[in-house]
Structure 1
Amino acid sequence: MKIVVSWIRKRDLHILTVGILTYTSDQRFQVIRPEKSSNWTLQIKFPQLRDSGIYECQVNTEPKISLPFRLNVIESKAKILGSTDLHVKVGSSVTLTCSVNKGPHDLGSIFWYKENEILQEDHLHRMTIKNQWTDGLTSKLHISTVHLSDSGKYSCVPTMAIPADVNLHIINGEHPAAMQHGNTNSGVASFVPHLYPEFWPIIVWILNDHRHR
């Protein structure tokens, strides 16, 4: 009897492959068997979350031989530390830190974009990019002296994960809302309170009244 190996998706009992033939309209599935090899490998291209589950390899022996495999598809996402909207004063520095958690596969690399333009280090080192591999993949985009033209959407784009975005607002002078000062870390904004002039007479009156008591 000729030995035939089949792959079954258990959640719906769909027969995916029989021998070298594929029985699904989903072209991401195929079986790989090198010539004169006894290995029958089920390949799923571009796996998605819905592909998670149990797949069973069956051999048409008597009695039938089967071996189940559990596939867990993990969706990796990039994360830029801090707020998604950062306000930075002209002339100060800013560091954007992007991280991707460690997964069961190669994490690839990270690229930075401003709008749709890829960013690279310049010869003056005003803009630097450093990638680091530890428990995960971390990339830091540092701008030493920000200009008004640096305003815009910055994207951290990993090769093996979903990208993340942050909006960088460059302020020419003081700003009453959130502002990030120079030499900050991880792109975390600090909040600066703004004292409006219309409240000054009230504060002065309270101080003078307190001194006369």
Structure 2
Amino acid sequence: MDSFRRSASASLLAIFVALSLHTASGAGRAGGHGVWKRASMDVGFTEGVDNQTVVVGRNATLRCSVQNLGDYKIAWVKADSQTLLSIAKTMITRNYRARVSNSDNSTWFLHINNVRLADRGYYMCQINTVPMVFRQGYLEVVVPPNILDEETSADVEVNEDSPVQLRCAADGYPAPEIIFKREDSKHIPIGNGNVKASSETESVEEVKRTTGILSFKAVKRTDMGHYLCIASNTVPPSVSKRVVLNVRYREPEVEVNLQMIGVYRGDDVAINCTVTAYPRPVVLWQDSFGKMIISGGRYEVVEKLLRESPPVIQTSLIIKSLQPEDITSYRCNASIDNDKMKEKSVTVQLNEIMRPSTESSFNQDIHYKAPRQRMNPKKSLAKHSRVNDIAERYEKPTSFVPGNNQGTYHHPSIGHVNSDDPANTSGIGQSRCCSSRLIFVLVGWVMLCQVLRGRA
């Protein structure tokens, strides 16, 4: 403290001596009595020294505006340390980063290049009148936020349901504010009893240091992801750092669309299964006997990574030309680190279903469709074997002739009948006409047979 007082006294003495050493007429002696001439009432400042805010590393300029200066002189002084910087155009300080300039005798500037934190404080512009007059302004030096990597969490890996903290430290001036956000924009449930955010600030040398903490009481697999630690204050730009939180699953998540699938024999079948887990799980297919299925022959196993964090794997079991022995159950099995305690599986059952018939059937009876009250030729002539044979020929379904129009069918005895022919005004009428002709033919055959038997 004593040394500080001695230094201050020496500085004040230096200022007083420097301001007294001038020979301007306005400040000369009067009448040889050794009394300094008082300043005219018109000498003074037209405005104060404006406060300045400058980002560290940039340049600052302080301005002092006076009137009627005459032969009086301007001095710049750093008030908090009582350090004389300049008198008029002469630099007193050894700080090479400081200099003075003036546009005329009424406007004087103090320039400080590459501003440092130590330059923060009050600066006085003095006029060496008696009594001395001055104005002062404050130079604020601000520091953009800077994240301290050595005090910020790196990537973190933790078991599910365990406690964990994400830490982020940054310094700057004013004190930085720290917030956490998820890179995927998902909501962080802060304040739900499981997740809490806090911060603390302290002064370190001439800056402020803030440490933000995101605490998980029992981390869940849904908390896994990329987190951004963002530090900001009134000085742009804001800065951020990414911290990855990896949560080791207790067991994998295994999902299938259907656990029972209907299949046709002879077809190709694909069974899909989706597995989510961290670390990346080992996924395999097993048959109903627990035997592992690998690609080969009629079997093919395909695996695809859908997402990296957390890993999501889609696996497909493809069975070609499905055989009866293939119609059984299959199990999609996933494990973490080949640990039986971290294993989960889902079973899919294949069930055979009958393939629908694709053969065409002809429902219209084209050779005979008589009303119920009419005689059935087949029944009336049942005792005659030859007549029965003829009737049975006409009772058989007709066959489709390739190349004909749809609805055109061919019969070996009566040619073809086109049900779509415009000349057929009624399908039923045509059927009745054909039936009448058939009856006359049959009756003729019966009469001929009787005549032949009578002659025999």
TM superposition score normalised by structure 2: 0.23
| TM-score, normalised with respect to structure 1 | 0.45
User: Which one has the bigger helix percentage?
Assistant: 2
